[in-house]
Chain A
Amino acid sequence: MSARDKILARIRQNRPQASALPDIHAVPFIRYDNQFEAFATLIRNLGGDAVQLQDGQSVADVVAARWPDAGRTVDLTVAQHEEVDDPHAWHDVDIAIVPGQLAVAENATVWVSHPDNRFRSIYFLTQKLVLVVPREAMVDTMRDAYARIQLAEHGFGAFISGSSRTADIEQSLVMGAHGAMAALVIFV
């Protein structure tokens, strides 16, 4: 008998008493009157920022105004974007502008799973991460989010909330652990 079959047989033999699966939709969850405000207030404590694009403004304008001395910038929101043959080739990206499919008000996360991206390493190697999200693609809680997300990028998708951070040294919060040092969400 293989390890697999032995393990499964022992689990079957040791099954605890039957227990029903609850309906997670039967419970009312929190709602936000102003989802953008909830999102934006929260992300500012998480090493990020959120803005709504104004009339006549472009994403590039907002990014350039925020980081005038940008290094290598890659924009995955355009159809003919730069591609690489090796995930390591993104190692020197300064600003990555990437599409986010959905934003969640309760925790300031953005769902990222882009069908037109080859190597996900760009999201984590970039120094500054810009997430571009349609302003109507906003939900209250993670329950609503999981009802809408698609795993569109080689079986990968991530909720990203602000910048990479750690408090492993004496509980002091430091932004920029391994991933992006700064995050900006632009609602368009």
Chain B
Amino acid sequence: MKDDSVKHPQAAAEFLKDRAQAKWHDSAIWWVRQKRDAQAKQLPEWEELRRLAREIKAHTLSQLDDYLAQFEANAQKNGVTVHWAADADEHNRIVHGILAAKQVKKLVKSKSMLTEECGLNPYLEQHGIEVVDTDLGERIVQLRHEAPSHIVMPAIHLKKEQISELFHKELGTEAGNNDPTYLTHAARANLREHFLTADAGLTGVNFAIAETGGVVVCTNEGNADLGTSLPPIHIASMGLEKIIPKLEHLGVFTRLLARSAIGSPVTTYTSHFHQARPGGEMHIVIVDNGRSEILGNEDFYQSLRCIRCGACMNTCPVYRRSSGFSYSYIIPGPIGSTLGPSRDMKKHGSMAFACSTCGSCSNVCPVKINLHEQLVLHRKKAFDQNLLPAGKKMGLLAMRFLTQHPALFDLGGKVMRKVVPIIPESLTRHSAWSRAGRDVPPMPSQSFKELYQQRSKDKKDKEGQQ
């Protein structure tokens, strides 16, 4: 399980101690961002697609109760049993109830951040049910007793040598064989056995279609399909914001999802489930767990448009340089940094500060969530609720005082420009921005304001001469 007591600055500092690993993490994820750009550029209508996706989701959220009721009615018509869970505990109890009624011993799961959020695996394991995560990345972190560090690439924090060692211990692969193809196919053989012997399969949901009462699950591996086409029970767990009104709207979302997430034109499998396989039963669990509260918050409800593609974390300069485990909430990166504090400000407040406010996340988001603006608003809330460390709070109060007194601000700048260059290194060494080998940057002779005034004056003089 994820350590939800971490504070971002300390955890990130710890992560950055291994410079080589940190650099690899940064560049591996940046590569995915570049692949995303290449895909986006191939479609002249890319920005229009984002606009459509945003508007479809905004509309759906504005009538979400109606669409959920419509979805439920249509799912029931298809013969699917629909369950409603107000919170994580209720979700876990419902899932366990379905499994216990059929004496299920082994459950195969495909990727679901919702079940991570609800803590389903440990709950079921306590009740004697074997849970096998089947997405390769999820399986790796499950065997390591870790949480996923990224919502789309769960094991992106690991090197192949670590995975080789893990598989040698757990699956009996050759020691020292680090070949990704060899390791992947070893996991394939092992997980096939689990698929063929599982009593039930659980999937997440990418999209739930109100018009047809069905759910869509997208994977590259095919694990959701194997996990639902073999065992007689299929449970689909979904957050209540996954609804879209009509089947045709997938013509927008399936064009955006994989391109944004992994820089592929589509996932290998885009599967539409409306009934269990013959002889089976299908259940859908609709989960609230705080979402309906966020819906009522004017500043933050837009975060419910999220389709969990992960593009915001791939582009985030802070995420790439701090890794998912530096974030206390189960979902890291920009989207997690608004969802986490919305859920529990005390616990996850530090996440809102893991942001340079560069706005890149908002610019790549396929549903155009104003992510960086939400993080700034969460900072304000954290300040108002007195949740900042004393030093940070003092700094902000001093800054506020200064910005309200421009003359003092100007004077302060002037003094700093004179004093900083002559501060002995022994005093700056321990500041948050310093580390061995890093010097204080040279101070400019003029402030920005002075430069700007000078420039305006020069321009005026020049125009006057002409």
Contact = CB atoms under 8 A, between A and B. Distances in A.
A36 interface: no
B48 interface: yes
Interface string A3-40: 11011111111111111111010011110000000000
Nearest to B72: A4
Counting chain B CB atoms within 10 Å of each CB, which of A8, A160, A161, A170 scores highest?
A170
B251 A142 contact: yes
Counting chain B CB atoms within 10 Å of each CB, which of A120, A166, A171 scores highest?
A166
A141 B136 contact: no
Given A21-B56, A160-B268, A177-B222, A15 B188 contact: no
Interface string B212-239: 1010000011110110011000000000
A88 interface: yes
B214 A11 contact: no
A109 B273 CA distance: 17
Contacts of B295: 11, 14-16
B252 A174 contact: no
B191 A178 contact: yes
B225 A165 contact: no
A11 B62 CA distance: 9
The bracket for how many chain A residues form the interface is 35 or more
The bracket for how many chain B residues form the interface is 35 or more
A175 B149 CA distance: 23
B248 A146 contact: yes
Interface in B267-311: 267-278, 286, 288, 292-293, 295-296, 298, 301
A15 B65 contact: yes
Contacts of A145: 251
A70 interface: no
Contact of B226 (A21, A124, A156, A157): A124
A156 B288 contact: no
Nearest to B35: A171
Nearest to A23: B52
Given A159-B270, A161-B266, A11 B65 contact: yes
B240 A119 contact: no
B68 interface: yes
Given A6-B86, A18-B62, A125-B226, A168 B268 contact: no
A65 interface: no
Contact of B28 (A17, A19, A170): A170
B195 interface: yes
B177 to A, nearest CB: 12
B153 A155 contact: no
Contacts of B159: 170
B59 interface: yes
A151 to B, nearest CB: 6
Contacts of B247: 146
Given A121-B226, A124-B225, A159-B254, A151 B240 contact: no
B249 interface: yes
Contact of B184 (A124, A146, A177): A177
A75 interface: no
A169 B185 contact: no
B45 A177 contact: no
A177 B86 contact: no
Interface of A: 2-4, 6-22, 24, 27-30, 42, 46, 87-88, 91, 106-109, 113, 118-121, 123-125, 141-147, 151, 154-172, 174, 176-180
21 contacts: A2-B84, A3-B90, A10-B296, A11-B292, A14-B296, A22-B59, A24-B52, A29-B43, A29-B45, A146-B250, A151-B214, A156-B272, A171-B31, A174-B180, A174-B184, A177-B184, A177-B188, A177-B221, A177-B222, A178-B226, A180-B222
